[in-house]
Structure 1
Amino acid sequence: MPKVFIAGPVSWNRLVRVDRLPDPRPHTVFARGHRETVGGTSAGKALNLARLGAEVTLRTVVGDDAPGRAVLEVLRAAGVEVIAETAAGATEQHLNLMDPHGGRLSVYLELPELDHPAHDDRARAALAEADAAVVDLADHARPFLDADVPIWCDLHDYDGRSAFHRDFADAADHLFLNDDAMPDPEPFLVSRVRDGARTAVATLGARGAVGADASGVHRVDAVPVAEIVDTNGAGDAFFAGFLMAHLAGGDLPAALAAGAAQAVRCLTSPDLA
């Protein structure tokens, strides 16, 4: 059972289904349904990795409030060991508007700030035993970019220039992003490998994914989906499938295929995993 340490954000989200994402003008929109559930990129990765058989420790930040307690209950019920730092403010919360075609508009309602971590020793001990360290995009996760185990970073919609992402991009042994802000990510992936990354991967939505390592550039098609139920967490599911295949000894094409297979499981489920 591989051990994976994750540092990063979790959230409590309200998901609202609409016929189409709203235009930027004053008007009324009627929802087709809504619900509340756990969210956040680190929660998505942790839940998928646990479902795939990893021993997962997640260090995150929540508020002392009902949304925070709800998030922790979901994670712990899935078998994730959670090291929860308590923020002075509210737990991170999002409002996600989602259309039937996979489009999403996320509104951040709350964003916690961590002033005084109380469990650094416990987190460092878990990190030292890990086979991989996933360090997600959050200021409170930055201190773990200096880990002595392989660092995995998901840059999401990185455009190649954002200062906020730079430390994560530079520290990553294994780097992921999507093509939302980089329509042709292949040159960037190749450059990251040339500069020292072991693997660099970009998800391309319905066009699959592309990855680079010392062996060259490889692609995988997206697995066909008869009906998309919920796009939330699909990128994190891909990441988890890829990571588990890599830790099992799979080469880049095999890991890309495993990532694509896990992503489609997420797309056809209402949950993150």
Structure 2
Amino acid sequence: MSAPPSVAVCGAASWNQLILLDHLPEPVPHMQFARRSWHTIGGTSAGKALHLASLGVNVRLCSPLGTDAEGQRIRSALTAAGIDVEPLASEQTERHLNLMSDDGKRVSLYLAVPSTPTEHELSIAAEAVAAADVAVERGPRLAVCTRGAEGAIALEASGARHEVSALPADVVDTNGAGDAFMTGFLAATLRGATIDGALTAGAAQARTAVESDHLHPKLSELLI
């Protein structure tokens, strides 16, 4: 039996504080009470890596991480989730504050950004991509567009159009839904699914994300 394909994902992993409000703040001085708040891992690449790992794909994540407490916690949780984490040296770990409302609206405040990677760090990422069977990047053969509650569409270079509806879900947090969709689509494609089958798998994986407080429900066991 052949080994599953390996996927390299290069990009952001962040430490986020999420705050749920009745509505996003108006641009005037005022006070609001948060309905609830929590800390979790964020970042588009971290989300992709988590969902790929949960689908049995060997995934290596190259991401700028500091040696601070946030970076160490991110690395520990993602490693425990089955991801081969390749930290790229950074002066600090990326951090966000996300203000959210029940209707899916969000304002993201960047509290800290990673330092510019050195040539050495870029070479590490390049080596990870070269060693993988698949790298997460854009290509001209197929374009997939997620549309939130309206589902998603895919357009082939030939002009063929495919569409899938969003699945019913008990929405908790919409952060990372698009990344989850992408990984469900990719994992199904790697296993030989048709485009329509991959779209359906993507919709199912997106539901997994939006029904959790985190990018993936696995983090609820690891971030304690």
Q: What CA distance in whole angstroms lies between the structure 1 residues aligned with 2:210 and 2:124?
A: 34
Q: CA deviation at 1:91?
A: 0.8
Deviation at residue 232 of structure 1 after TM alignment: 1.2
* 2:205 aligned with 1:262: yes
Give percent identity, aligned residues only.
47
Q: Which amino acid aligns with 1:91?
A: T
Q: Is the 8 A contact 1:86 1:114 kept in 2?
A: no
1:74 shift after superposition: 1.1
Task: Return the offset for 1:107.
Answer: 0.8
**Gapped regions of structure 1 (runs ≥ 5):** 135-151, 153-171, 174-196
Residue correspondence of structure 1 range 1-273 to structure 2 within 5 A? 1-88=4-91, 90-120=92-122, 122-134=124-136, 152=137, 172-173=138-139, 197-213=140-156, 214=158, 216-225=160-169, 227-273=170-216
Higher relative CO (Cα under 8 Å, sequence separation at least 6) belongs to 2
On the 8 A contact 1:95/1:108 being kept in 2, the answer is yes
TM-score (ref. length: structure 1):
0.74
Q: For structure 2, which runs of at least 5 residues remain unmatched after alignment?
A: 217-224
1:25-53 Cα shifts (integer Å, max 9, x gaps) = 11111101111111100100000000010
CA distance in 2, matches of 1:215, 1:248: 24
1:64: how far off?
2.1
Q: Distance in 2 between matches of 1:85 and 1:100?
A: 35
**TM-score in terms of structure 2 length:** 0.90
Aligned residues: 212
CA RMSD of aligned residues (A): 1.5
Pairwise CA distance, 1:15: 0.6
| TM-fit CA distance, 1:93 | 0.4
Q: Identify if the C-alpha distance between structure 1 residues 33 and 127 changes in structure 2 by more than 3 Å, giving closer, same or farther.
A: same
1:120 deviates by 4.9
CA contact (8 A) 1:85 1:114 kept: no
Which amino acid in 1 is paired with 2:106?
Answer: R
